[in-house]
Structure 1
Amino acid sequence: MSPTTTVEVTSLRERKKQRTREALIDAAFELFTTKGFEATTVDEIAEAVEVSSRTFFRYFGSKEDVATSLQLQQFLDVYSALDARPAGEPVVTALRHACVQVLRAYEEGENDSAQFACVTQLVQESPAVMARSLEMCTEQLDELSRRVAARMGVDPVADPRPKLVASVASAALQVAVRAWRETEPDEKVSDLADRAFALLEAGINYPAAP
């Protein structure tokens, strides 16, 4: 087999794996929406895609991992968008543009938008999903801190600012999602996030009441 053929076979195999993974995610979210998270089994998710439960576990460690897969992918997409921002752009501004860009891309995809609504509800309603989401977000905040530190040219261990920036950015997104769920359902999460980041850029050292 020539090197070119080997690359083509590998590429085909990887595309097939990606299609299977996406099919499992789609099937899982459809079942979560119709049956509820707790009532859905791994066997049912696998059966919907016509694969075995063993195949499911090659892609995901648990139902909770499927439920939070969209959140993980959003972090990865934000990293890519952040890397593409101009090198001299201030970190909060760069994060604002990166996060809003990713959110708007998901809002424009009908399937992604429905899954986003589903996962935000699951995080609120299922203790197991909330626990996995918090664990995953903590892991990714560490990675985001490292990327912010690299952008600032500082050591993320010695300098607390990258972790502070990453944590505040995460809080801004949480505020936006909560506002969308509880008080402003007609607004887009991306617009709410954009406004939250604008407040961060302006500074949040507000004066005390007189």
Structure 2
Amino acid sequence: MTPTAAVHETPRADHQGRRERKKRRTREALVEAAFELFQEKGFDATTVEEIADAVDVSSRTFFRYFASKEEVVLTFQEEQFAAVLEELLARPAGEPVMTALRKTCVSVLRACEDGAFGFDPERFVCIQEMMESSPAVLGRSLEHGQKKQADLTRLIAQRMGVDPSTDLRPHVAAGAATCAFRSAFDAWAMGVTGDKRFSDVLAEIFRLLEEGINYPSKG
């Protein structure tokens, strides 16, 4: 590369860097404004226009970053799922699959509740409240989980050293983990487990899965 070429490329790279940083700041500001409004007014009562106005941008700008209000909510779940995959990769290689999933999922959920590892506990609580009150949020959350299950299946298969195209066990394990989250949320939201935290309910459900669910019948 000639000195002249380097002189011409540096300003361009710096401009692109500034543009990317500005885009990240705008996206983060939209997320922050959205959650503040969700907590203040509720998800259904909040409009895209109000979120955009809070950041002093147009609705068109909002839709450059998110397809809908529901997509804003999923940003937190994306972070949560990424943390689950990272944590699962770090679990001891010889640990049984369901045990590794329990320790991973409960650890990440507690981090969300406690504000550890950069998670926002107020935002986490807001999402749980919206899932209870808004069918739209709950529906998108479930859809999101189903899409991510394929990624979890691949990682479990890698951990087991099997091919998920011929072995059903990774699919069963990933499906069980997804069902555990859903069952834990339902039980926690309905108050079935008293004043236990969401993460404690999830831990209990995973332990039941580890013990086996082929329960004897009454007869």
1:27–1:45 CA contact under 8 A, matched in 2: yes
Describe the shift of the 1:55–1:207 C-alpha distance in structure 2 as closer, same or farther (beyond 3 A).
same
TM-score normalised according to structure 2 size:
0.83
Offset from partner CA, 1:56-107 (integer Å, 9 cap, x none): 2232111111123222321111011111112222111111111111111111
**Matched residue, 1:199:** 208
Q: Given the alignment of the two structures, is residue 173 of structure 1 paired with residue 181 of structure 2, yes or no?
A: yes
Whole-Å separation in 2 of the counterparts to 1:75 and 1:130: 16
- Partner of residue 129, structure 1: 137
The 1:15–1:97 alpha-carbon spacing in structure 2 relative to 1, beyond 3 Å, is: farther
Partner AA of 1:104 in structure 2? R
Structure 2 residue 28 is the aligned partner of structure 1 residue 22: yes
Q: 1:68-107 alignment to 2 at 5 Å? A: 68-107=74-113
* Structure 1 residue 14, shift from structure 2 partner: 5.0
Q: Residue in 2 aligned with 1:156? A: 164
Distance 2:12 2:90 in 1: 31
In structure 2, give the amino acid aligned to 1:181.
A
Q: Say which of 36, 39, 46 aligns to 2:45.
A: 39
TM-score, normalising length from structure 1? 0.86
Alpha-carbon distance change, 6 to 106 in structure 1, aligned in 2, over 3 angstroms: farther
The corresponding residue for 2:73 is: 67
CA separation of 1:12/1:89 partners in 2, compared to 1, >3 Å: closer, same or farther?
Answer: farther
Q: Is 2:132–2:189's contact at 8 Å kept on the other side of the alignment? A: no
**Total equivalences in the alignment:** 210
Post-superposition, which runs of at least 4 consecutive aligned residues in structure 1 deviate over 6 A?
Answer: 2-12
- Would you say the 8 A contact 2:153–2:174 is kept in 1? yes
Distance in 2, matches of 1:85 and 1:93, equals: 10
Q: Please tell me whether the aligned partners of residues 68 and 119 of structure 1 are also in contact (alpha carbons under 8 angstroms).
A: no
Contact 1:100 1:190 in 2 (8 A): yes
- The residue identity in structure 1 corresponding to 2:85 is Y
User: Equivalents in 1 of 2:121, 2:173: separation in Å?
Assistant: 27
Report SS of the residue matched to 1:86: coil
Q: Which runs of 5+ in 1 are unaligned?
A: none
Alignment gaps of 5+ in structure 2: 1-5
19-28 vs 137-146, which moves further: 19-28
Report what 2:59 is aligned to. Answer: 53
Larger radius of gyration: 2
* Native 8 Å contact 2:152 2:174 kept in 1: yes
Q: Percent of aligned pairs with the same residue? A: 52
**Residue by residue, what CA displacement relative to the aligned partner does 1:23-51 show, whole Å, maximum 9, x if unpaired?**
32221122122222222111211221233
